[in-house]
Structure formats: structure tokens, C-alpha cells
Amino acid sequence: MGGWYDGCSGWIQTFDRLLTYSFTKPFMEPNKVTMYAKSGSTLSYDDVTNLNVGFVDGWAYDEFCLARYTDIAGSSLRQDQIIHIASSDRLVEALNTGEVDVIFVSALAQYDTALMRITPSDFQNKCLKGGNSVMTRHNNRDFVNWWNDAFDRLVQRGRYDEICKTLSERHGHIQGRDYTELCIGY
């Protein structure tokens, strides 16, 4: 990019990105990661041995992240168990038709309404280092320091809390997480 940008707002802190970029403090909580099965399934999240696992192509919730869960039997998948699918809708379809046995994804409302979550509600997110932040070049420390200082003042003066608590009022027509799930500290 030739050094012509200061930052990209709203990018989550993935372990791969941290190798190349710096990040500000997160201004949003990371999404939860979860595993879903077809409604009525008896499959358990703690053993994916010989199961075909579906992933949304290009997301951080991938086979490399699943392999970090050493407490899940079979979490280091064979290549023939890994199924990448281009969209969330298509992933739900693949699960319901038996193309995949389970899906490993970001917890989204569209999955909760169509599928059965098989991971516990407190399932740890090992896919992300942090939530939505501003991603920037490694050599842009002045920007990171400026942003973090400004964000800290926003929090200390109560404005961040005001913004968070009015999310439903301002954006409640948009389906998704509420402020207690989105904002830091709730």
C-alpha cells in the first residue's frame, strides 16, 4: 500500500494479522466462536474425529484456529475433512444436506435460528487476539498512541458508554448482537 494510509477501522485482531500489522486497543468485543450441528443432532463439540467440518471461506474461524483447541479430539483435521464454503447461507445448506457434519464459525443470529449450537455458551475464542480495532502499519506507533489516548478519554468521560447504550435505539432495526455483547466492559 506504499505507506499512504494511516489505518483501517473495524478490523479484528487475528493472530495472522498481528504478524504484519499493528492494532489500536479494541473498541468492540470479538465475536464468539462456536460449533453448530444440524437441528436434532446428537454430535458433541468435543470430538470431531472423522467428521467433515465446514468453514466460511476467508474468515478467521478456520481449520488453523480449530487446531488450537487441543482439548477437542481430532481438532487437527485431515485435508479431506476440511470443507470451505463461500457464504454463510451456503454453509447452513451444506450442514442441513449432510455435505458437512458440523460447522465452526462466528456465532451469528442466522445460525442460531437455523441450527443447533453444540458448544457451551462460555466456549473460549482461540481464533482472535482482540476485537474490532484500527489496523495499521507496524511503523505507525504515533497513530496507535494517538488513537489509544483519544479512546481512553472517550471511555473516561462516559461518551463511550453513552454510544453503547444508544445502539439499540439508533440501530435496533439491524439484526445482531446488542451493546452488552458488542461493547467492551459489559
Quote the cell numbers at residue 132.
Answer: 474490532
CATH superfamily of 33-117: Periplasmic binding protein-like II (3.40.190.10)
Q: Which residue has the cell 432495526?
A: 173
pLDDT for 120 equals 96
Q: How far apart are CA 108 and CA 163, in angstroms?
A: 22
d(Cα 156, Cα 146) in Å, to the nearest integer?
Answer: 15
CATH number of 8-29+129-182: 3.40.190.10
pLDDT at position 1 over 60: no
Distance (Å, rounded) from C-alpha 79 to C-alpha 58?
Answer: 17
Q: Compute the average pLDDT of residues 28-39.
A: 94
Instruction: Give the model confidence (pLDDT) of 140-181 as tens digits.
Output: 999 999 999 999 999 999 999 999 999 877 877 666 677 788
Domain ranges of the chain: 8-29+129-182, 33-117
Same fold, 8-29+129-182 and 33-117: yes
Which residue has better confidence, 178 or 46?
46
Distance CA 63, CA 78 (A): 10
| CA 175 from centre of chain | 17
pTM comes to: 0.84
- Within 10 angstroms of residue 157's Cβ, the number of other Cβ atoms is 10
* Dihedral pair phi/psi, residue 63, rounded to 5°: -65, -30
pLDDT at residue number 24: 98
For the cut 60, the answer to whether the pLDDT of residue 75 exceeds it is yes
Check residue 174 and give its pLDDT.
Answer: 66
pLDDT at 64 > cutoff 90: yes
Q: Which helix (H) or strand (E) holds 184?
A: none
Whether residue 184 is predicted with pLDDT greater than 60 in this model: the reply is yes
Grid cell locating 52? 467433515
- pLDDT tens sequence across 83-136: 999 999 999 999 999 999 999 999 988 898 889 999 999 999 999 999 999 999
Distance CA 25, CA 186 (A): 16
What pLDDT, on a 0 to 100 scale, did the predictor assign at position 182?
A: 83
